Amino acid sequence: MLMAITGQVMILFILIHVLGNSTVFFGGLNGYAEKLHSLPLLVWTARFIMLIMLFVHVFFSITLTLQNRKAKSDAYAVKKFLRSTFASRSMIWTGLITGAFLIYHLLHFTIQVIDPAASAGINADSMGRPDVAGMVITGFQNFFIALIYVAAMVALLMHLIHGIQSSFQTLGMNNDRTLPVITKAGSFAAIILFLGYVSIPVIIFLGLMKG
C-alpha cells in the first residue's frame, strides 16, 4: 500500500515536472524557473515531500524484492510466464536505473556541476534571469548527455507501464471489469509522459530548437 501511494504521488510530480519542462518549447522556461525560485518555501516543501516519498518507495521495493527472492530460494527448472510481463519482472532494475538517473539529473540541472560553463547560475538571458533554457539546450546538444536522458526515459517508461496499473490494483481496483481498463489507461499515460520527456532532448539534439 505504501509503495502504491508513494508511487502515485511521484507520478503526479512527474506529470507536473514535464508540464513545466515543456515551456522550453514556447520560450517560457526561464520565466517558469524564475517563478519557482521566487517561492522557496513551496519548492523546498515539495522537495522534502518527494524525498520522503522516494525513500519509502525505494526502501519497500528493495525489501519486498528480497522477501520474494527468499521465498523462492530454489530456481525453477522451467520458467513459463503466464501473466507477468517484462515490465513487471524488471521493476527493480528499471527503478534502480531511474534512481541513478535522478542523481545525475540533479547534478546536471539543479546543482549544475556536470557542465558548469553552461550553468544557469553564471549565465543570464536577455532579461537578466538565470538562463535555464540555455543550459538545457546546451546540455542536450551533446550526444552523450542526450543519450543518457533518452535511455533513462525508456527505463522510466517501462517502470510506469507496470507501476501505474499495479498501484491502482494494490489499492483495490482489480476486478475483471476495471483492471483491463486501468492497464490500458496506465500504459497510455506512461507513453504520453515518456513522449513528453523524451521529446525535449531529441528535438534539441536534432537542431530543431536553438538557444
Instruction: Tell me the per-residue pLDDT of 36-75, one tens digit each, with 9 for 90 and over.
Output: 999 999 999 999 999 999 999 999 988 988 888 787 655 5
Quote the pLDDT of residue 78. Answer: 47
How distant, in Å, are the alpha carbons of 14, 114, 134, 175 from that of 58? 16, 25, 33, 28
Q: Is the pLDDT of residue 30 over 60?
A: yes
CB 163 within 8 A of CB 93: no
Of the listed ranges 85-94, 96-105, 168-177, the one predicted with least confidence: 168-177
CB 81 within 8 A of CB 89: yes
Strand, coil or helix: 155: helix
Share of the chain above pLDDT 90, in %: 69
Which three three-digit cell numbers place residue 72?
523462492
Strand, coil or helix: 124: strand
Quote the pLDDT of residue 82. Answer: 47
CB 24 within 8 A of CB 136: yes
pLDDT digits (tens, 9 = 90+) for 139-193: 999 999 999 999 999 999 999 999 998 888 888 776 677 778 888 999 999 999 9
Mean pLDDT of 80-88: 68
Quote the pLDDT of residue 139. Answer: 96
